[in-house]
Chains A and B, each alone.
Chain A
Amino acid sequence: MKQQMANTKMNTKNRNNNRFIERPRSFCSLGGALITVTALPEVVPILHTAMGCGGSIYWNQYGSTGYLGAGYCGGLAVPSSNIQEKDIIFGGLDRLEEQVKSTVELVEGKLYFILTGCTADIIGDDVQSVVRQYRDEGINILGAETGGFHGDGYKGHDRVLTVLAREFIEKRKNKKNNKINLLGVVPGQDAFWRGNLLKIRELLEKLGLEVNSFFTERDTLEEIRNAGDAALTIVVSEFYAIDAAKALKETHGIPYITNPFPIGPTASNEFLKNVAETLEIPFDVVHKVIETETKRYFNYVERVADAYNDLDWQRYSVVVGDVNYAPAITKFLADDLGWLPELMVVTNTIDDTQKPKINRVIETLISKYPVTVAYESDPTEIKTHFRKIVPQKTDRLFYDDFSPAFVIGSHWEREFAFDIGAGHLTVSYPVGNRIVLNRGYAGYDGSLSLIEDLFTVIAAQR
């Protein structure tokens, strides 16, 4: 196993992993995979891990994902082989087999999904042999290698979806022209995943599309199984779920497009045009949707314009977030809200070849607002990047301060915001000071919620 990994996975060129991470802004791949599986309808996860992984991920999601609870069969109810030292030495497959058998006997599910942890992956337990064995017995079961050392939560998410695409979704020769699969919003890593997916889904439905969005209240396992006749996969991210989109292409012949995560009318207009162009939806259909949505957006914005202008709610801003949120929010602030996003900090660890994709969103801002882009994950280092563009405050009488200001980031940016006397809203991971249920920031409608939340922070100080 070790040798195999050495041969296939040592891509030293792009290794940006030679250093520690201060307070990681991500689950491990097992955590991302587990939350993804528990977000799928009627699916029961089975962990093949040491005993603490289930608890660790649960405590993690609780504090980082808007107090996300256990749900149907997550949290400390998650079936888990809890392998011990003797299993590490002699192999853990017997224990796993027993656990799968008892889980199927005890727990109600339409699909069981085995996820491995570091321990099982290092000792090289062949989980697929257990999957095959139970599948031969007629059990609906899948498995994925998701040990934490394979990468972050986004990676685990991608691996689960890739297995679904390859082994669960049924092959269909004939595609439906108006049916699409929607990917790119990662449950847990995005605390607002349910609201975001639902808002994008509803927007696409207005174009006359039938949408499979995997993780919302409107998705079913049956529809996911039938996702093979979609004409297109739309990934609302330049980075997430790309392997899954590729697997849908390879296994089912479904092409995919990527589009930056859209927040606000400007980004949403561009998104809808991009989709329509790819699917050859007539111009007047798209134009009608854009017109209606924009009108609705301004119908609400009109009624906050008084306060925005009377109370001077324009703000200098710093945006800290992952590769989906950081550019999306920065664009919304610059192109729609008329704010001044001086600094955007992207928190994912990504190599230089990928950076142009993110920078492009900023380079093509309609407002042409000059935004400084930095790549940094460690919370205590955000301020260092800020100080590079904003000098330390002085006591001079006439001084052009970075004020009034606002920081949009994770809950860790509270301290930074406090230090520079700025307002603060938590949007990106970790989200530990907000409760998230059905709220979402995507699209036209979502940006109205974002306006509400930003202005509420300011108004609450009155």
Chain B
Amino acid sequence: MNYLEQKIAPRREERLGSCIEFGGTVDEIHKQFCGCCLKNKRRAFSQGTICQLLPATAILTSLQDCVVIVHGAIGCGGAVHSQGASVRVGQFNAGDKNPKGALWLSTNLTESDVVSGGEEKLKHAIIEADKRYRPSAIIVLSTCIPGIIGDDIDGVADALKDQVSATLLPIHCEGFKTKIMATAYDAIFHSFLRNMIDGKDETEFRIYDNDISTTAEKLRRSRLVNLLNVSSMTGADQKELTRLLNKLGLEVNMLPCDAHPDAFRLAPFAALSIGVCPTHDDYFMTYLEQKFGVPFVGGQMPIGIENTSIWLRQIAAKLGLTEAAERIIKSETDELNRALEPLLPPLRGKTAMLSAGEIRTLATAVLLQELGMEIVAVRPYHYDKFGVAEIEKLEKINPKIRINVATAQPFEAVNLIYRIKPDVYIGHNSDNVWAAKCGVSILPIYGTNSIYNGYAGVYDVARRLKRHLKNPSFNEHLAKHVRQPYKENWYSENPFKYILGGE
């Protein structure tokens, strides 16, 4: 089915059968998912979590030369208050001495707008944003209110497209529409594919009439690859993957995060698209191939030694660079293994629990296992077919590793932690504090200007884990003096008690 013909990208529940409720072991989820028994569960107790607007603002406010208009109440988009800090750091690292951070506008929908509609206000905001900031693109994010009252953001964008100089990108991320926040990634790419990426060769990457420059450009494009980054990657992560691809002789067109809209316009002319996380990039790469014939490799996250090597081999195979890739893999892993040796003794046999996005969690678990640690539980934010390959790897290590599919839901995590008492918790921003209050050492699973991807990421993760285990006293003290909000009997209950079967 060609989803691009529709205004709105499908929900992940429909497209991929994704689920966010499960408690059991990795062999159980493997069996059940293949039997399609995971659908339509729900929780009788749930905690506030992340809707698709959050990953949308995280990615889109990082774009260069763009303005994001959050069409909603004044609080929607508030997450940019912290997301914008990383945007600012990125701009500073890119050389801006007085970085402005993320730029977003709110249409500030009020009681009267709920009654009479918000389209006029949105029009006004788009026209003003175009005049005031002169951006390359204006991104309009639809939230719950317009989703309920029926504001037609696509219609508004269509009506204004000849009046403004910016490219208009209406994106649907109403929070109530899907339980799978990763639907946001499809929603974003859906709009870019429909409204911006047209395959017209007319900006700086024009092929000139001149024979020599045409040949030069063709040569460049034969080595040009789209690298699909994710918002949980740091600048250091991007550098590491670029380093590896450069070693293969490839030139990198990085998108979507931190990219200029021109990177999207250039994408149809690349020789290959390279994914780092199927949760993020399969929709885009699939359509880029269908519409413009750009082949892709995806499905493998380059986190962990073996995972990074698989990732490089897949890329090399597509471009006929296998021999070069093997040389690179050998020299990199030899050096890495030598460097890792002194770091490993304090990590050996230590138990770890992980929690974050689907692929990130499972791939990082494989990395920790390579460092000699024992994986006791994984908590992916959702689960679908893309997780199967990673689950199979974990099942081989130990089929009885506990798995809890939940978008945060710390009450389940805390119950599990009390049971299995891991030495380290490697979790998502905002998850970590609940494990910290149990006295467990924490390594954040992404961010903080550190590096997680590629071979350098393996070394850095090992180095940082060693540091955390050296003095865990901050969280140990914390656990003695603050309490979790749950009643005492919760810890003797089944942690998955509140997950109810299908309806």
Where the two chains meet, the residues of B that have a C-beta atom closer than 8 Å to any C-beta of A are 44-54, 69, 72-85, 97-101, 103-115, 121, 124-125, 128-129, 132-133, 144-145, 148-149, 175-177, 179, 181, 407-411, 430-431, 433-434, 482-483, 485-487, 490, 498
Contact = CB atoms under 8 A, between A and B. Distances in A.
Interface of A: 2, 5-6, 9-10, 12, 15, 17-24, 26-31, 44, 47, 49-64, 69-70, 72-73, 75-85, 87-88, 98-99, 102-103, 105-109, 117-119, 122-123, 147-153, 380, 412, 415, 418-419, 430, 432
Which 8 pairs between the two chains have the least Cβ-Cβ distance? A54-B48, A52-B51, A28-B75, A63-B82, A148-B73, A60-B78, A63-B81, A59-B79
A55 B50 contact: yes
A188 to B, nearest CB: 11
Given A28-B75, A58-B48, A77-B434, 8 more contacts: A10-B115, A51-B48, A52-B181, A76-B48, A118-B144, A118-B145, A147-B73, A418-B98
Contact of B51 (A5, A23, A50, A99): A50
A85 B176 contact: yes
A418 B100 CA distance: 11
Contacts of B103: 22-23
Contacts of B409: 76
A61 B430 CA distance: 12
B45 A103 contact: yes
A21 B105 contact: yes
Nearest to A8: B111
A64 B53 CA distance: 18
A82 B49 contact: yes
A82 B178 CA distance: 11
B74 A152 contact: yes
B498 A102 contact: yes
Contacts of B177: 85
A52 B74 contact: no
Contacts of A150: 110-111
Contact of A27 (B78, B85, B411): B78
Given A28-B74, A55-B51, A62-B82, A20 B111 contact: no
Contacts of B104: 22-23
A76 B410 contact: yes
A195 to B, nearest CB: 20
A444 to B, nearest CB: 32
B78 A57 contact: yes
Contacts of B132: 380
Contacts of A117: 144
Central interface residue in A2, A59, A81, A123, by most chain B CB within 10 Å: A59
Contacts of B112: 9-10, 12, 15, 17
Most buried by B among A26, A98, A118, A430: A118
Contact of B175 (A15, A51, A149): A51
Nearest to B126: A20
Given A2-B115, A76-B431, A60 B75 contact: yes
Greatest chain B CB density within 10 A among A20, A30, A98 is at: A20
B346 to A, nearest CB: 29
B51 A51 contact: yes
Given A19-B125, A55-B49, A108-B486, A149 B82 contact: no
A420 B338 CA distance: 52
Contact of B45 (A52, A79, A430): A79
Given A57-B75, A57-B78, A62-B82, A70 B45 contact: no
A149 B181 CA distance: 23
A441 B128 CA distance: 38
A9 B111 contact: yes
Contacts of A98: 44
B266 to A, nearest CB: 29
* A30, A108, A418 — most chain B CB neighbours (10 Å): A108
22 contacts: A5-B111, A17-B113, A18-B124, A22-B103, A28-B78, A31-B75, A50-B51, A51-B51, A52-B52, A55-B50, A59-B83, A70-B433, A70-B434, A75-B430, A76-B47, A76-B434, A79-B47, A82-B48, A103-B45, A105-B45, A109-B485, A150-B110
A119 B143 CA distance: 10
- Residue of A56, A63, A99 ringed by the most chain B CB atoms within 10 A: A56
A83 B49 CA distance: 12
Most interface-central of A51, A99, A153 (chain B CB within 10 A)? A51
A56 B111 contact: no
B85 to A, nearest CB: 6
Contacts of B433: 69-70, 75
A419 B97 CA distance: 11
A410 to B, nearest CB: 10
A49 B145 CA distance: 12
